[in-house]
Amino acid sequence: MTLHITANTAVCIGAGQCVMAAPDLFDQEEHGTVIVLEDEVPADELALVREAAYLCPSRAITYTETSAT
Ligand code: SF4
């Protein structure tokens, strides 16, 4: 199982909670907008991804579980 992470930069307000929660997965560009560093991660990182998505005040981070092929 793999997690596919997406971040909606149109609604990101640059709060940075995602970066604090999961610095290996997210970064911010110059003006604060989120950058997804790793958009495919193993399912064992679900707790981290879930926390980042939960903490995001603008609900910009979403993820789906996909079966690895
Ligand atoms: S926590 Fe949400 S609003 Fe803040 S930088 Fe990350 S994606 Fe953007």
User: Which pLDDT score, from 0 to 100, does residue 67 have?
Assistant: 83
Mean pLDDT, range 56-62, rounded to an integer: 98
pLDDT, tens digit, 9 for 90 and up, residues 9-55: 999 999 999 999 999 999 999 999 999 999 999 999 999 999 999 99
Q: Which of 17, 19, 39, 48 for a ligand 1 pocket mutation test, highest count of atoms within 8 Å of Cβ? A: 17
Q: pLDDT: is 31 or 68 the higher one?
A: 31
Bridge-based pairing state of the strands 26-28 and 34-36: antiparallel
Q: Which of 58, 59, 63 for a ligand 1 pocket mutation test, highest count of atoms within 8 Å of Cβ? A: 58
DSSP-derived secondary structure letter, 53 = H
pTM higher than the cut 0.85? yes
Q: Report CA(42)–ligand 1 centroid distance (Å).
A: 21
Domains and CATH numbers, the chain: 2-66 (3.30.70.20)
Q: Contact 41/68 with Cβ under 8 angstroms?
A: no
Phi, psi angles (nearest 5°) of residue 46: -55, -45
